[in-house]
Structure 1
């Protein structure tokens, strides 16, 4: 081999990988302009929803916050009273009774609706004849308006003409005082609420169950796990994100329950079924003390926001640790 050939081969081996093309000064401004156009397009798509949120959510919320520091009967503010409305809340026994009823209602309905929704989702995710029909029937109350569903509750639980009391009397039993006894009236509200909420919880849980790989259950069965152990150690942890979402949604719904109580009991008998929203409605539209009603509404908003923030932070902490 000649010396010239060897030198050419050595020079070829020493060159290494080809250099990357240099970025021209015009490339960076081009990418920046594309990002700006994409950002403007995104805001353009978001603009209608942002306008609706601003007009129908943020503006009324700010107005209610302002009214809560004034004295108003709905026809204009008559003066600035500062924290007087909030001081009145502290000494108002009806407010505390309504707050206690709201807390009790939430503590009873949320766990029950979650448990029933998960149980129905597991059942509907199995091999069950007529699953689609049962899913539709269970979810149907969520499609119907709240007032219409509450009217169905009246047909069932009316003390004089309700279907349940008619069946009880037909069987020789005494009717239940659904409207004249506080505990029975509260129980009827809880039962109708569960009927309304369970369908929504079932659908969300069903979506979570269908995202779980069947191989996990097959491996658990090969290891000798029973059906309860599969449910306890596989199903419940793996639907955790669905539980987190439903927990927040159900608590918010419980804090804002109104139409069912308003139609079925009106907050009675006495104050046994009065909750914060019905008490705010009573002050705002019956006694026309809208500044006090606004203060109650702000309290409901702060309670809901605080619970959501705590749950969100706790869920993020669990995800970080995991």
Structure 2
């Protein structure tokens, strides 16, 4: 019995000597583990933004202070490219056209997408097919979209003019008239993008609790009152995202459609700032000058983003002011 007791005492001694050793190993707290998991999930996106956005942006700003020749030589000129930009009438004409394009496109795209979101939210037969059909243009290549609409808007053989002539109207030179080309570009852009923002609005609408609508119905509120007092205020975060993304897309996007549909014409009527920058960089080899204009365009987008943030987050959408 004494030997058995001695063995148990030795086992207890070994266990007590091993326990502190195991407890001495460092363990991460729950908060640190959550931070580590968040960092691992965010790392791919952060790395992608760093490589494909941040570094090229810094390089573009640095390049804007140099005169770059077509042979790869770099000459420091300081603010020379910016002074040239301030005195370039073609650049400011493109900025004016870009302003018109943004002022018309963004509200129209916002209203159309919101209307479609409210429409497809209804639980009607075949609504899933309608959602797919409306979203489908967004997944098509912009070059394909441009070629398709260029054929449809052709002055002689386009289906649009054929339909107008069949209805007794005269055909129009949709892409050859300075007064119509920009409107056609806006219409095609709305057709392409409305399905994407419709889905975003639909997601925001589905997040609004149904109890609010039931209470409004019991109070006798009509559709417009329900929209104004419930739907519109609670869509404020979604509205902010749509306005911000559509504004940025209007300023920096559309290059493919412009290149295919009008190539900046007629008479530079659709030469947006992004297209003019593209021409200077890849058409004339003025990379330093194009970088200066691109940096200025980024500054404009930052200012507009701040204004949109102020309007949508500052309480104006939720109180109807």
Q: What is the rounded CA distance, in whole Å, between the counterparts of 2:70 and 2:47 in structure 1?
A: 25
Uncovered stretches (5+) of structure 2, i.e. residues with no partner:
1-21
1:62 matched to which residue of 2?
58
Q: 1:48 to 1:218 in 2, by over 3 A?
A: closer
1:243 matched to which residue of 2?
239
Is the partner of 2:187 in helix, strand or coil? helix
Uncovered stretches (5+) of structure 1, i.e. residues with no partner:
1-25
Contact 2:236 2:312 in 1 (8 A): no
1:71 aligned onto 2:64:
no
Contact 2:174 2:181 in 1 (8 A): yes
2:158 matched to which residue of 1?
162
Q: What is the rounded CA distance, in whole Å, between the counterparts of 2:40 and 2:232 in structure 1?
A: 41
State the shift of 1:36 in Å.
5.1
RMSD over equivalenced CA pairs, Å: 2.5
1:146 matched to which residue of 2?
142
Count of matched residue positions in the alignment of Structure 1 and Structure 2: 297
State the shift of 1:29 in Å.
9.5
When normalised by structure 1's length, the TM-score is: 0.84
State the shift of 1:226 in Å.
1.6
Q: What is the rounded CA distance, in whole Å, between the counterparts of 2:217 and 2:50 in structure 1?
A: 53
1:312 aligned onto 2:312:
no
Is the partner of 2:257 in helix, strand or coil? helix
Is the partner of 2:315 in helix, strand or coil? helix
Q: What is the rounded CA distance, in whole Å, between the counterparts of 1:174 and 1:279 in structure 2?
A: 33
Q: 1:50 to 1:167 in 2, by over 3 A?
A: same
1:288 aligned onto 2:314:
no
Is the partner of 1:79 in helix, strand or coil? strand
Q: 1:59 to 1:122 in 2, by over 3 A?
A: same
Q: What is the rounded CA distance, in whole Å, between the counterparts of 1:101 and 1:63 in structure 2?
A: 28
Is the partner of 1:164 in helix, strand or coil? helix
1:102 matched to which residue of 2?
98
1:12 matched to which residue of 2?
none
State the shift of 1:196 in Å.
1.1
Segment drifting more, 70-79 vs 265-274: 70-79
State the shift of 1:28 in Å.
12
- Which whole-Å deviations, capped at 9, do the CAs of 1:20-40 have from their partners, x for residues lacking one? xxxxxx999956566556545
When normalised by structure 2's length, the TM-score is: 0.85
Structure 2 counterparts to residues 215-230 of structure 1, below 5 A: 215-230=211-226
Contact 2:161 2:171 in 1 (8 A): yes
State the shift of 1:84 in Å.
1.1
- Which whole-Å deviations, capped at 9, do the CAs of 1:66-107 have from their partners, x for residues lacking one? 111110135424311111111111111111111011111111
2:85 matched to which residue of 1?
89
